[in-house]
Amino acid sequence: RNIFNLTDVAPSVVPQGNSYGTPVGKNPFDFANFQVGGSFANQSAEYLDGQPLNIGYINLPLILPTQDSISEFKVQYNNLGPDWGKFSGGVINLSTKPGSNEWHGSAYEFLRNKVLNANEFFANKAGIKRPPFTQNQYGATLGGAPLKDKLFAFFSWEKFSLRQGTVFTTTVPTRSERGAGASGNFDFSDLCVSGFTSGVCNDRSVASSAPVGTTCPPGVALSANCLQAHQIYDPLTVNTSTGARQPFAGNVIPANRINLTSKFLLGLIPNPTNSATVNNFVKATGLGGDSDEYVPRVDYNINDKSRIFGRYSYWKLADLPRDPFGTGLCQDRCTETYHTHALAIGYNYTLTPTTTVDVNVSASRFRYLRVPVNADFDVTKEGFPAAYNGAVPNIERTPLTPCFGISDPLITCSQGQSAISDNDTQFNFSPRVTMIHGKHTLVAGAQFESSYDNYLQTNTGGGLISFNGFWTQDKAAGAGTPGTGIDFADFILGYGLGIGSPLGNQTSGAVNISGPVAGKEFYRAIYFGDTWKLTRKLTVNLGLRYDFQGPWSERHDRLTYFNPSVTNLTVTGCGGTAGSPCPGDLFLVRTGVNGGRNNLPLDKKNIMPRLGVAYSLNPKTVVRAGYGIFFIPNFVSFGVNPYIDPVSSSTNPFFASNDGGLTPASTLHDSNCTLSAGVLTCATPGPFGSTLTIPPGRNPKPSPSGYALNLQSFSATGYTIQKNGSVQQWNLDFQRELPAGFFADVAYAGAHGVHLPQFSTNINQIPDRFIAAAAVQAAQGQTPTI
């Protein structure tokens, strides 16, 4: 009973992802994740009683109205008048129910449980009973007239509750690999199938370069075609000349070699539930959440000429944590809560029999909070310096997240430790005048909107380090021998990978700290329209809309802009020779050539013509056509949000090696560490240094060399050439009335978008026209000078 799912019945609407059904347990961007008219998903506009629902948090709708509170639902796209803007797909228009002269009400409950559900295969295999499932959706409505023909009232309330058990299956280290045996050693011998000779595994693998048909039986002499397999090596025994390492005899790591930080973090990873080496953790875990929404509305007829209504919406959504391990390493995300308050007031006044005035005023407040189960963690418990506690905000500070097996990651590689705090406030004022004059129906109006977005997010506030077997493989083959090295063995020793490519929304090998930002954006628009009935058969709709979409500013001016026209004072060599100048540098707002407070200039060319034509060929046949230009809102692109600005976050890397991976340069802790009463204490700095760098914000001024030339997001197009994205839409439609009450409608609709936003683009990307020349220079061993 998700009201937005009704969009699916309209032509040219394609639902995406998990947009169906209840919002409980969903990513907030699933709420309106549908494409309209060929546009990108989440780029349409939703209105409730004339109130814009889309907010500065990437165009997210701030509420999902309950189905029983809605009287009218309409999907409009492709041929819209000048009244509508800020979208690339279409407009979803909803109106709440008013009261009537007669009192009426309803009550309902929809219950679904596990009675007819079948158990899952792996649950049966593990002896786990059919998981629970209870879904309740219930509510009530009441409407009437406290003052007949004068004052009308309507109230809607709905509650949704879901408790769902699901079977979670993954692979965790075996008991012997965890050091659970009598010796306390970390035993990986089960990985070797063919046994050991002199402590070295007899398993072999066929090299990818070997001739077709090559076989490598167990124990055969090692060669270029037959490689060692299923053996772990000691990274501290490397021969720096050859890269060769000495094996751990029998694939056993002595108990005294465990990194004490690893020993602490091992407590976050559960024991296996069966004796297998893969899919050895099977557990029934709980999902679900609760949603509560109520909507009161009052309509009042002041007199024959004027009417007013007011509507208030409250919505609370709470998702339970997805924590199958029960240790706070959540699956994708932990606890999430949403709170929405939305107020809309509409006033209608009839000036003359042919002229009316409509005024809509609205305000909303949306709060989204994602909190890790392990938030406000004291990092000294894992042996990190106490200074880390002061550098990372409480909501972001969690234990270090160890990520195993990047190619086939465990749950620990998900963003279960992510933290988000989003507080959106929005105000809207929309006056409109409608006048009928002869064959013309004229409209003129404006829209003024201010959006405030206070935001904070990090997915690795406690740090994330990846382990993939790199340090326990044999390096004699240069890049490493495939089939050797184990990710969990690397973790036991405390040797991880350095900063690298993102894992989903995270960056491995680093602590990412996000500072709170207070963004604000102002939107202004004016429009004019004329529905002109030229003849009895021909009607033309003419319209023009002009938008001023203010770019983001930040309350405390913690923003930067990129100016590609200046010479960088600290980075050189762009001309292919030492010391040659490099263009472009980063500046704080209100400095340099930009005296304003915005990270991008105001685009003053958002002119949107609208044209529609309807012609009646005969009483039963009508031909319609239309064309329009539509500009999307700036906040569709998260890449221009102040949160993404370089001065709003900091990255503290883990330096894994100083010699290309031959020897480790850092561990999860250094020496002189002791574990007592569950608290690990180390005399030497932590893996990310003795202190963490916090986001610089406005002061001190960031170093140009630290932020120039490799910016992502908004600076992809530079300060002086940023353009707002827009879409052209057009259509041609034939409608014919048929006998027996049938109706035929054949239509063609098209769209073309330009300057549509992409979250992240490297500004150093070579333009297509220079790729061929750059490739020739690179092939000759030269640095491309394009």
pTM value?
Answer: 0.86
Which tokens go with 322? 């997805």
Interior CA angle at 213 toward 210 and 219, to 5°?
70
Instruction: Give the C-alpha separation, 384 to 377, whole Å.
Output: 11
What whole-number distance in Å separates Cα of residue 598 and Cα of residue 201? 62
Top-confidence residue, 40 or 752: 752
Q: Which amino acid is residue 658, in one-letter code? A: N
8 A C-beta contact, residue 306 and residue 349: yes
| CATH, range 3-96 | 2.170.130.10
Take residue 127 and report the two structure tokens written for it: 């002896």
**3-state secondary structure at position 656:** coil
CA angle 341, 343, 345 (to 5 degrees): 175
* SS3 state of residue 647: helix
Question: What is residue 593's predicted lDDT score, i.e. its pLDDT?
Answer: 66
Sketch the domain layout of the chain as residue ranges. Answer: 3-96, 519-645+696-779
Cβ pair 726, 629 in contact under 8 A: yes
Identify which has the larger pLDDT, 112 or 563.
Answer: 112
38 or 540: whose pLDDT is higher? Answer: 540
Structure tokens at 205: 């693998």
Q: For 275-279, 313-317, 547-551, which range has the lowest pLDDT when averaged over its residues?
A: 275-279
The per-residue pLDDT for range 213-240, each reduced to its tens digit, is 999 999 999 998 999 999 999 988 888 7
Greatest mean pLDDT range, 40-44, 72-76, 424-428, 649-653: 424-428
Burial 400-437 (b: 16+ CB within 10 A, else e): bbbbbbbeebbbbbbbbbbbbbbbbbbebebebbbeee
Average pLDDT for the chain = 86
* pLDDT > 70 fraction of the chain, expressed in percent and rounded: 88
Among 322, 382, 396, 377, which residue's Cα sits nearest to residue 164? Answer: 322
SS3 for 304-367, per residue? CCEEEEEEEEEEEEEECCCCCCCCCCCCCCCEEEEEEEEEEEEEEEEEECCEEEEEEEEEEEEE
Q: Is-contact 681 673, C-beta < 8 A?
A: yes
Instruction: Specify the higher pLDDT residue, 405 or 378.
Output: 378
Residue 232 identity (one-letter amino acid): I
Q: pLDDT digit string (tens) for 349-365?
A: 999 999 999 999 999 99
Q: Average pLDDT of 510-538?
A: 94
Q: What is the pLDDT of residues 411-459, one digit of tens each?
A: 567 667 889 999 999 999 999 999 999 999 999 999 999 999 999 998 8
Report how far apart, in Å, the C-alpha atoms of 373 and of each of 398, 421, 725 are: 8, 15, 39
